[in-house]
Structure 1
Amino acid sequence: MNAWLWAGVLLLAAWAAHWGANQLLTPLKLLRKQWGLTASAGAAFLAIVTASPEVAINITSAARGVSDIGLGNLLGSNIISIPLMITIAYFASRKRFKNNPQHQEHLDAKVLALNKRSVSVLSLPYLGIIALVAILTIPKAWRGLQPVDGWIMLGAYAAFLARAIIKGREKGEKVEWTQKEIWLSIAGAFAIAAGAFFIVKATENIVSVLSISKIVGGLFITGIMTTAPEVFKTWSVVKGGEVTAGTTSVIADNAITMTVAFFPLALVNTPVQDFQLYWVNLAFVGLMPLLYSLFVHQSKELHGFSKWQVFVFDAAYLTYLLVMAFFVLELI
């Protein structure tokens, strides 16, 4: 099979994995209502499912002996996701919401409205997770992903989730479950597993045909493909009036990717073979939530992002591409 055919397989597999994740969302949304979780805390909880394709991909890449694809996926998806989702959310929120009359103020001010609590509940703890990854994997004596690192990062996610739930708890509601929802959830789990297998398999073959490294394939093929379907979810959720939930869920997704999806790669002792490529990418992984936290913290009466701040996120990603092309990969 040539690269184009494998690209088709990659698209279908990514769609299947995210279809599966969507089927698992319903039972978790019911649990969120039952437990009385707020939008920010609920985002951290629902990310268990929305980030499941990335976790499954890294399990598959570790099992198949191509953990560099998983490492590239881990870094690449966490760099592109925040600027991409914030840009999509900004344009999706440029309409009036009947259930939110105060939103007109944000429209007039050209601001993407956000709950300021999302910084303390999600983005600052996520920055702490990234700092912990740097401490565990960058120093020369500890360089690489090792089993002990994986267990530490699992503990970090448990603390992240517990903190989000404790800080965002309200009175719960009574919910009902249907057999259809249960069966769709089971089908979703199988779709995620199958999609992850073929995403990794397709990436392996594409990088082989194009003669590029597996980690670069993970960064710019797998990482982008696993993030792209989230565009539709973000657009749909924000269009429905849930601006904070639609925009902040990406932070929670990334926290899972850097912890739970980190775990299978650490178990198989994934080395850092190109240190410059690794630290540059990890630096940009940290830059995105840092900008997020600073911009929301600086906002005054109307919390969120102005149009120019949205463009700064996009410029940061463009800068990343230029740094990778000119200084890391030396393509030009």
Structure 2
Amino acid sequence: MDTQHDIALTRALAEIPGPLPFSGVIHVAIPHTSRFTVVGNHLAQHAELSLTAIGIGVHIQSLPAGSKVGIKALAARFAEGETTIAAALRELETHGYLHRTRERLANGRMITRTVFCNRPGALLRGGTVVPVGVAPGPAPGPVVTSVVPASAPAPPPAPEPTPVPEEAHPPARLPSRSAPKPPRRPLPQPRELTPELHRAASALLADLRRHAPELVLSEDDVEELVPGAAAWLERGAHPDAVRHALTAELPQPPKYPAKIVRHRLTALLPPPLPGAQELAPVRRTPVTPFQTCEGCDRAFRSPAPGHCRDCRAQYGEAA
């Protein structure tokens, strides 16, 4: 087999027109009729890309649309580790060949959209996009798209990818719309809604539109929300603090002002102010200090200097 290969190579070299170079590579170019990919020299001979990035770029360009081209998928295919492959993918992103974005589908599922552009310069000049083909399957996977200049002919169709069984892409389970919603938290209530407290809470709520024009409350809304604002005031919250909590960082535009005020009165309710007993310092149990025995220099606990227990017994016997 080696002899036949050498003979075929010698015959092919003899058919190359012109003198052969004395050094460097000699190309034996045989036209492809199937399973080939057109790769531009701007990628194959890129002056700033590493050899790993060029190889991965050529490999991704040769794959059909829908193929997995993530870091783990490429690491399982090639001997390079995940760190090397990740760095190469970042190089391709830097030079415009690869684009990876996170998108949310209509069912709420997050996917990574991967786009490979075979000519980033032509894309900026408005080249014609030629789809390479999409792998079948209910769940959309990464997309590989080629871009060619408007004047260039369309590339040959890519081979049909292997069908993916439907079991590999189970449909996403959406939460049932019939599931009961959690009960809404009740509006805070003061311990005693006095006339003065009612009047102060009503004035605070009616005055919100002066500080946030979006919070226009009707009279019925104010009357309904008075207990919540009164609970804040009863707990010692300053009216300016209550006003800031109800008007800061409002959604734009607020569709339901009364619901926003009700939610903040309920969810941001501060705790009651602690009383004098809670703020009093904690009493500590007095600790008997250590003393040094005057007879044997042993340490012992006693409120006053003197002798330890053994020395007291000894001196007592001697006496």
Q: In which range does the TM-score fall when normalised by the shorter chain?
A: under 0.3
- TM-score, normalized by length of structure 1? 0.18
Structure with the largest fraction of helix:
1
User: Under a length normalisation based on structure 2, what TM-score does the superposition of the two structures give?
Assistant: 0.18
Question: RCO greater where, 1 or 2, for CA within 8 Å and sep 6 or more?
Answer: 1
